């Protein structure tokens, strides 16, 4: 008889789910999430390039143009450094202009690196200009 009682007790003990280690597991998961999460915030420039019909007719006498030829930078055919371009663009007060007066054409020669292009694009956008990409004839 005592033997029978013993097996019944064992059965009851097996049914219970051990929850003692749950909080430990939970905290381990929290530590994992905290360590694995990377709060990255990228830095960027915002460039709103106008879309629409392509035109072959430009108005260079009215619109300023930035040319990138290899590593050289020209603003209205004047060679200058990126610092000088910033000053010239700031003087134009593009942010306070409206419509077409905010447009700056950006032309680049074949093989122009993105590094130079990005700097020109960033300068124009930062001063409130709207970039119009000039496509070279193929």
Partner 1 sequence: MGDIAFLLIIFFLVCSEASKDKSDLDVKLPYSEHVAKQKTTVVARVALDGTGQIYFDGVKVDSAKDVEWGVRNLLTNTVADDQRHVQFKCDKLQSKEAFEPILQAIAEAGGIIEAVGEKSEK
Please tell me whether residue 33 binds partner 1 under the rule CB under 8 A: yes
CA distance 67 to 87: 16
Contacts of 72 by beta carbon, 8 Å cutoff, 6+ apart: 79
CB of 48 to partner 1, least distance (A): 5
Please tell me whether residue 7 binds partner 1 under the rule CB under 8 A: no
Q: Which residue has the tokens 């007066």?
A: 101
- Please, which residue, 49 or 58, has the CB nearer to partner 1? 49
- Please, which residue, 12 or 38, has the CB nearer to partner 1? 38
Please tell me whether residue 115 binds partner 1 under the rule CB under 8 A: yes
Q: How far is CA 88 from CA 49, 82, 83, 104, in A?
A: 21, 10, 9, 12
Please tell me whether residue 77 binds partner 1 under the rule CB under 8 A: no
Please tell me whether residue 6 binds partner 1 under the rule CB under 8 A: no
């Amino acid at each position: 008889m005592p033997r029978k009682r013993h097996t019944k007790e064992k059965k009851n003990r097996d049914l219970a789910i051990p929850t003692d280690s749950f909080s430990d597991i939970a905290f381990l998961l929290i530590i994992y999430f905290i360590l694995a999460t990377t709060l990255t915030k990228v830095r960027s420039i915002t460039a709103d390039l106008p879309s629409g019909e392509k035109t072959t007719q430009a108005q260079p006498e009215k619109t300023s143009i930035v040319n990138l030829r290899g590593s050289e930078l020209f603003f209205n055919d004047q060679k200058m450094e990126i610092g000088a371009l910033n000053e010239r663009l700031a003087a134009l007060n593009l942010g306070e202009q409206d419509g077409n007066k905010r447009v700056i054409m950006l032309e680049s020669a074949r093989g122009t690196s993105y590094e130079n292009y990005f700097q020109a694009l960033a300068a124009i956008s930062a001063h409130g200009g709207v970039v119009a990409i000039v496509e070279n004839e193929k």
